[in-house]
Chain A
Amino acid sequence: MHWYILKRLAIVPLMLFLFSVIAFALIQAPPGDFLTSYIAELAQGGSSLDQAQIDALRRQYGLDRPIYEQYFLWVGSLLKGDLGISLEWRRSNAELIGERLLLTLALTTGSLIFTWLVAIPIGIVSATRQYSAVDYLFTVLNYVGLATPNFMLALVLMWVAFDRFGVSVTGLFSPEYAQAPWSWARFADLMSHIWLPMIVLGVAGTAQIARVVRANLLDELGKPYAEMARAKGLPEWKLVLKYPTRVAIAPVVSTLGWYFPQLLSGGLVVSVVMSLPTVGPLLLRALVGQDMYLAGTIILIFCVLTVIGTLVSDILLAVLDPRIRMDAA
C-alpha cells in the first residue's frame, strides 16, 4: 500500500513539470511579445504604462532573454509563491485568484459529491431493475442530461426562477455578503446559493457516471461469485450492495481522473452564465484581454488540481481494490 502511494507520488513532479510547460506554451502562444501588444492595446484605449512599469515587467518576465530562461524565471517565481501581477487589473494575481480559487474548489467538490451521491444509487437501481419503468426513466433522463449543455440548463433555470418566482439566482452571495469577510453568516449565505450551480454542473456527469455504474454492475451481477453468494443464502439486496457494487464502484472512483477536469471545465461555463465569482470568468476575461500570465497561472492551477484529483482517485482505488495495492507491492 505504501509502495503504491509512493509510486504514484513519484509521478507527480513529472506531471507538474509537463503541465507547467504546457501552461507556459499557452502563455507564449499569442503572436508577438505580450507586453508590446499590451502596450499597443492600452495606447489604443488612450491610457499607457509609464516607462518604469514597463521596464519592471520586462525584467520580471525576462522578456529580453531566451525563451527557456523566461520559462525558468516564471516557474521560479511561481515556486517562490509569487504568481505575478495582472496587467489588466493592476493587482497581484494571487490576490485576484485567492478567494475565487476557494469558491471554485467548493463548487467543484460539492458538485462531485452531488454526482456520486445521486449517480451511484441510480446506477444500482437501474441495473438491478433492468428494463423496468424506473430503468427506462433513468435512461431517458441520462440521455437528456448528456445532451444538454450545462449553460442551457443554467439559463433555463435562471429564467424560470426569474419569470415564475421573481428571484435572481445568480452569484454565490447575497449583495450584503459579497465583499464581507468570512463569517458563519457568510458561509450560510454561500450554502444557500451554491446548491443550484452545483446541481447544474453535476447533471451531465451524473448521467455519465450512472451509466458507468449500471453497465459495470450488470457485468458483475452475471459473474459466478454473485451466483455463489446467492447460493450461500444471501438476500438479494445485501448481495448487490456487498459484492458487485463494490467491484462496480471501483471504476467510478477512477473516473475521477477525467471527471475532475471536466468539472473544472464545466464550472467555467456555468460560472460565466450564472455570474459566479470563481476562477472561470477570471480566466475568460484574462484570455479575452490577452492577460496571458494570469491566464497561464490559472490554467496551471487547474492542472495542479487535476493532479491532486487523480492522486486521490488512485489512492481511493487502492483502498477499494486489493488487487491494485498487492500488484504494486
Chain B
Amino acid sequence: MSERERGGEPVLSVRDLKTHFRLDEGVVRAVDGVSFDLYPGEVVGIVGESGCGKSITMKSILRLVQPPGRIVGGEIRYRRPEPVGEARRRYKPFEADLARLPPQGRRMRQVRGGDIALIPQEPMATFSPLHTIGEQIVEAIRLHEPMPKARAREVAIAKLREVGMPSPEQRFSAYSWQLSGGLRQRAIIAMALACNPSVLIADEPTTAIDVTTQAQVLELLKRLQADHGSSILFITHDLGVIAQVADHVVVMYLGKVMEQGPVSDIFHRPRHPYTRALLKSMPSLHSEPRVALPTVAGSIPHPLHRPRGCAFHPRCPDFMPGRCDVRVPALSAAGGRSPVACFLHHDEVEGGGHDA
C-alpha cells in the first residue's frame, strides 16, 4: 500500500501554483493554477504537449525561473521525509513553502540539489565541457555535505558504480563529451543522486537518447527509486514512458491541470476529452497497420491568445457551445474517483460556484 493510499503526508505539495511571464506583448500564463501532491516513494508523471507548462512547473519548484518569469501565486510546500534506518541519526527536519523562499538564499540553495535534485533534458550540455564529470559530482556533494575532497571522490565513484557506469574510477576523470549519450545520462543521474535527495525531478530525461538506452535508463530510475525510497516527479510528453514508470499521472494543458489520477485510471478510464485524445494518438501494437495515427485535432493556441473558458474547447470533440467557451471548469473529483476539469463530468467553476 502506498503512502498516498495510506493517507500519509506528501513530501511535495503544490497548490494553485501560478508562474507568469510578463512580456512587452502581454502576459504569458505558463503555469496557471496547478495543484498536485507527491508522496514519498511514488512516481508522479506530468504529461502534456510542448508548451503546456510542465517544464516551467519544474523550474518553479526549484525556483529557477528567470525574469521576466515570476511566481505570482500559490504554494510549493516541501517537507523533508524522515529516513528509515541508519540515516535517521543525521536527519534534520525541514519544512517550507518554497514559493516564499528567496530564490538565491541559503535555504533554497540547500533544497536545490540537496533535497530536490534535477535530472535535466539534454544530457549533451548538462556538464561543463571544461571540467571532468568527477569534479562536477564532487562539487555537488561538497556543496551539501562538507567533507574532504578524497572522501567526496569515493562517494562520487560509489554513485557512478551504483548507476551502472562501467569502470567508474576511470570515468570519474573523463569529460562529458568523451561519453556516449547513455553513459552521460547515467553520470547525470549519479550527480543528481549524489546527496541522496528525497525528490528527483526528471525533465524528459529520455527524449534525447535512443530507444534501447531509454529503456535502460528507465529501468535504472525505477531500481534506484525502489532502493532509496525517494520520490520522482517525471515530466514527459511521452505517454508510453508514463505508463512504464508512473504511479500517478497529472495531465496538463496550457498551464492548467486537466485531469489527474492513478496511472491505471488515466490509461483505462480517461475522463477528460484531452486525455482521451492523447491516448488515441499513442501508437500501440494493436493499432491498424498503414492507417494514419490519429492526432489531437487543431494546434496548441498561441500562449498570448488563450481561449476563453476551457482552454481546450477549440480542439475538443465534445465542445458544448455556451458553456465551455464561457466559463472555466474547476478541477474537481465530483462525480467520479479522480479530479477532472471538464463540464462533461461536473458543473463546478473555477474560483468556486456552479455553472448554471
Contact = CB atoms under 8 A, between A and B. Distances in A.
User: In the complex, A touching B, CB below 8 Å?
Assistant: yes
Interface of A: 223-225, 227-236, 243, 246-247, 250, 320-323, 326
10 contacts: A224-B120, A224-B126, A225-B128, A232-B143, A233-B143, A234-B139, A243-B130, A247-B128, A322-B175, A326-B175
Given A233-B114, A323-B177, A227 B143 contact: no
Nearest to B59: A227
B112 interface: yes
A232 B122 CA distance: 16
A233 B112 contact: yes
Contacts of B125: 223-225
A250 B122 CA distance: 23
B113 interface: yes
B104 A235 contact: yes
A228 B109 CA distance: 12
A192 B340 CA distance: 78
B118 A228 contact: yes
A224 B110 CA distance: 20
Contacts of A246: 128, 130
B117 interface: yes
B121 A326 contact: no
B131 interface: yes
Given A322-B175, A323-B175, A243 B140 contact: no
9 nearest A-B pairs in the assembled complex, by CB-CB distance: A233-B113, A231-B118, A232-B113, A233-B112, A224-B125, A233-B109, A232-B140, A243-B128, A225-B128
B112 A247 contact: no
A230 B136 CA distance: 12
B126 A225 contact: yes
Contacts of A320: 130
B316 interface: no
A246 B178 CA distance: 19
A232 B139 contact: yes
Interface in B257-298: none
A235 B109 contact: yes
B165 interface: no
Given A243-B128, A243-B131, A231 B177 contact: no
Contacts of A234: 109, 113, 139, 143
A227 B64 CA distance: 8
Interface in B92-148: 104, 109-114, 117-118, 120-122, 124-131, 136, 139-140, 143-144
B62 interface: yes
Contacts of B114: 233
B127 A225 contact: yes
B191 interface: yes
Given A227-B120, A231-B62, A323 B139 contact: no
A10 B354 CA distance: 82
Nearest to A228: B126
Contacts of B191: 232
Nearest to A225: B128
A247 B113 contact: no
Contacts of A326: 175, 178
B109 A224 contact: no
Contacts of B129: 225, 247, 321-323
Nearest to B115: A233
Contacts of A227: 64, 120
Interface string B231-265: 00000000000000000000000000000000000
A18 B157 CA distance: 52
B128 A229 contact: yes
Nearest to B106: A235
Contact of B112 (A223, A224, A232): A232
B338 to A, nearest CB: 31
- For A233, A235, A246, the residue with the greatest tally of chain B CB atoms inside 10 Å of its CB is A233
A323 B131 CA distance: 10
Nearest to B130: A246
B117 A231 contact: yes
A23 B156 CA distance: 57
A225 B187 CA distance: 13
A232 B197 CA distance: 11
A224 B130 contact: no
A223 B125 CA distance: 7
A313 B350 CA distance: 63
A124 to B, nearest CB: 16
A236 B118 CA distance: 17
B124 to A, nearest CB: 8
Contacts of A243: 128, 130-131
A225 B143 CA distance: 16
Contacts of A231: 62, 64, 112-113, 117-118, 120
B64 A230 contact: yes
Contacts of A223: 125
A221 to B, nearest CB: 10
Contacts of A229: 128, 136
Contacts of A236: 104
B173 to A, nearest CB: 10
A102 to B, nearest CB: 36
A328 to B, nearest CB: 14
B118 A233 contact: no
Given A232-B140, A233-B144, 7 more contacts: A225-B129, A231-B113, A231-B118, A232-B191, A233-B109, A233-B111, A235-B109
Nearest to A224: B125
A321 B130 contact: yes
Contacts of B104: 235-236
A236 B104 CA distance: 7
Nearest to B64: A230
A321 to B, nearest CB: 6
A287 B130 CA distance: 47
B197 to A, nearest CB: 10
A247 B117 CA distance: 25
